Structure 1
Amino acid sequence: MDAQGRKQVPAWSAQEVVDLIAVWGEESVQEELQTSKRNADIYAKIAQGMGKKGYTRDTQQCCAKINALRQAYQKTREVNSGSGSEPQTCHFYEELRAILGGNPTTTPKRSMDTSQEPWVT
């Protein structure tokens, strides 16, 4: 446990984030997120989907990572909507745009060099 009494959570690898985005972007998951007022069960389903892909992430970890990804995407969009600024991007921008910027059924496939360093938000 760290100094504040919480467990250290292992860093998310880039491939793990790509897989999380793929599970999160599934049409059925997006439909449930849009129609449900309580999303805890949906995030549990996302965690189960990650388990099927061989990862051990719990509901809270998946929810926190999705929220961090959503915030990074929205911050990038806000910066890019201002005039005169250099276009910015964030990790997984195109994948997130497929989910958050419109059509959730077109989550692009991303080939990933798994030798890359883990990506953490």
Structure 2
Amino acid sequence: MQSSSAEVTMMESQNRKRAPAWTEWEVRDLIAVWGEESMLSELRSSFRNAKTFVKISQGMKDRGHNKDPKQCCMKRKELRQAYQKTREANGHSGSELQTCRFYDELHAI
């Protein structure tokens, strides 16, 4: 019996453990570490940022959080997308002003 790719994908996603949700404190610290000029400079200058996310993960550890480089990378991506979506929505005249959590902190970066 063959299973469809949708069934396989569903089974894989059920077997994959979800990472625990980030606390507000962890997100604020991630933004602070990511927003350091040296990190921003590295992220801008390199297409492959694996080493930079190791440093960001270490910065999180220094602040008492246990987040691996992949978790930091994924959370940064989520935050950037939420920020850009909000910014784009607010660029349309006549639309109701929208906001996202941490908008001001992200805007500063």
TM-score range with shorter-chain normalisation?
0.7 to 0.9
Q: 2:95 aligns with which of 85, 95, 103?
A: 85
User: Structure 1 pair 8/81, CA: closer, same or farther in 2 (3 Å)?
Assistant: same
Structure 1 residue runs of 4 or more that deviate by more than 3 Å after TM superposition: none
Equivalent position of 1:54 in the other structure:
64
The gaps in structure 1 that reach 5 residues or longer are 100-121
One-letter identity of the residue aligned with 1:69: L
- 1:8 Cα offset (Å): 2.6
Cα distance, 1:44 vs structure 2: 1.1
**TM-score, normalized by length of structure 2?**
0.86
Q: Percent of aligned positions with the same letter in both sequences?
A: 60
Matches within 5 A, 1:1-121: 4-99=14-109
Number of aligned residue pairs: 98
Give the superposed CA RMSD: 1.3
| Long gaps (5+) in structure 2 | 1-11
User: Amino acid of the residue matched to residue 73 of structure 2?
Assistant: C
Instruction: Give the counterpart letter for 1:46 in structure 2.
Output: I
Q: CA deviation at 1:3?
A: 6.0
Counterpart code for 1:95: E
Whose Rg is larger?
Answer: 2
TM-score scaled to structure 1, two decimals?
0.77
Give the letter aligned to residue 41 of structure 2.
Answer: E
- In 1, distance between residues paired with 2:75 and 2:98? 21
Q: For residue 8 of structure 2, what is the aligned residue in structure 1?
A: none
